[in-house]
Structure 1
Amino acid sequence: MQMKLHWTYRTPKGTEAIFESEEMSVEKALLVAEDMEKTGRIKHLQFIDNQDSTWKRKDLNKYIEGIQTEPHNVIIYFDGGFDRKTKTSGLGCAIYFDQNGKSYRLRKNATVDELNTNNEAEYAALHLALQEVEFLGVHHLPITCIGDSQVVINQLKDEWPCYEEELLKWMERIENKLNELGLQPDYRVISRKRNREADHLATQALNNIEIMSTMEIDSE
């Protein structure tokens, strides 16, 4: 789960200003808040999640205690590629998560023959990632889903209409999986350059190079 800090800063002479931080993990938010409060100039400090819900510090500490042994802080990068000549799709996803105080990265790709467009491949790549999230045992948590397809991201956010029957079927599959697992998605679109890890995995799938790996990474 990602949090923002919202607080009022007061100078020694009594001038006040309101600030809001960027999004960060719950653990980081608690550390930053504790350090800020040591200055004695912070008032009305609030913890706000990405659903705009406000949390108390004690509830956040209970939340952290409850999820430490389970995968959490899940971030998915996904990408799909479609070869028109061979009618083959390559799916790729990189999943980052924390568990037991450590950070991990899971990489997975797959080759699929029954798709017909690049947009279908993009949807299928996200569905592949959600299946891997399910295998990890992730449930009833916020997750972040990041891709470079404006079509897929904006349709899933209900900001763009979807008229294609096949894409509607993929949207339904993804929404059903999210509901089944109790996951609250935060969809974000980024450039292809910033999504190069998932893009590379999709390209490897098109070249018949199978990837499936999980490794511990430096949390910094």
Structure 2
Amino acid sequence: MNVKIQFRYHSKEKITFESEWVSLDNANKIIKDLQGTAKVNEIQIIDEKGQEWSPKEAKKLMAVTENEPKQIRLYFDASFHKETGETGVGYVLYYKKGENEVRLRRSRKLEQIEHSSEAEYIALYHVFDLIEEEELNGMDCIIHGDAKGAIMQLLGEWPCYDDYLNRWLDRIEERAKRLKLNPTYKYIERKQNIEAHRLAKKGMEGVEQDSRLERDGEGEIL
């Protein structure tokens, strides 16, 4: 769960501050620091639904949310055949749910794709499908990919001069915002992205698949 912290700072006048979205765990740590500051009071937490919680209630909420999804990692890739235009995309989602780990895999074939860069941006956009289907809205997540251009552009490190790809970048950022996500984009080498790469290859071959696996803390399939 992500929340905002709101508090009043007393100097010559009362000033109200509101934080960016942070995880509930981090919020409780920040509140502990704020409570040690004499000029800060009227601290409250606001969740994604607009509900308000006192610091005491927030600690109780932590116990309730122990089984909430966490450690959300996504991997995406696209395979593109230049001569035939055949395109496949692959997605993998991992996250922890209490002591259990959940893994989702997906491969899809795409039509009417003109070049490999377009396929990578479309793959990145649709990796959020897994987030939406698992109802992981409002969570922190790390998105891994070997599409260096797309990742570096989303990080703001590289400019994008292609208007068509820029529109995809806007769609990606808008969708993350709509899902109230706090995504971290991470570029990885192909060998670190082999699972999504193999799925993308299968998609290009017309093998479309979906799988969901959940294991307990000892690795047993549930």
TM-score using structure 1 length: 0.69
Which sits farther off after the overlay, 163-172 or 196-205? Answer: 163-172
Change in CA separation of 1:63 and 1:207 when aligned onto 2, cut-off 3 Å = farther
TM alignment of 1:184-199, pairs within 5 A = 184-199=182-197
What is the CA RMSD across the aligned residues, in angstroms?
Answer: 2.8
Query: Structure 1: which 5+ residue stretches go unaligned?
Result: 2-25, 27-46
Identical aligned residues as a percent = 31
Change in CA separation of 1:63 and 1:168 when aligned onto 2, cut-off 3 Å = farther
TM-score using structure 2 length: 0.69
TM alignment of 1:7-22, pairs within 5 A = none
* 1:39-77 Cα shifts (integer Å, max 9, x gaps): xxxxxxxx979xxx9575999965653544543321001
| Cα distance in 2 between the residues matched to 1:56 and 1:82 | 51
* 1:98-125 Cα shifts (integer Å, max 9, x gaps): 2243111000111111321211111111
- Matched positions, count: 173
Equivalence for 1:160: 158
Q: Is the 8 A contact 1:70 1:138 kept in 2?
A: no
Equivalence for 2:130: 132
Equivalence for 1:118: 116
Change in CA separation of 1:193 and 1:56 when aligned onto 2, cut-off 3 Å = farther
Equivalence for 1:174: 172
Q: Is the 8 A contact 2:99 2:216 kept in 1?
A: no
| Cα distance in 2 between the residues matched to 1:175 and 1:66 | 31
Change in CA separation of 1:61 and 1:122 when aligned onto 2, cut-off 3 Å = farther
Q: Is the 8 A contact 1:93 1:129 kept in 2?
A: yes
Which sits farther off after the overlay, 66-75 or 95-104? Answer: 66-75
Query: Structure 2: which 5+ residue stretches go unaligned?
Result: 2-22, 34-54
| Cα distance in 2 between the residues matched to 1:102 and 1:161 | 40
Q: 1:167 Cα shift?
A: 1.0
| Cα distance in 1 between the residues matched to 2:61 and 2:141 | 15
Q: 1:217 Cα shift?
A: 3.6
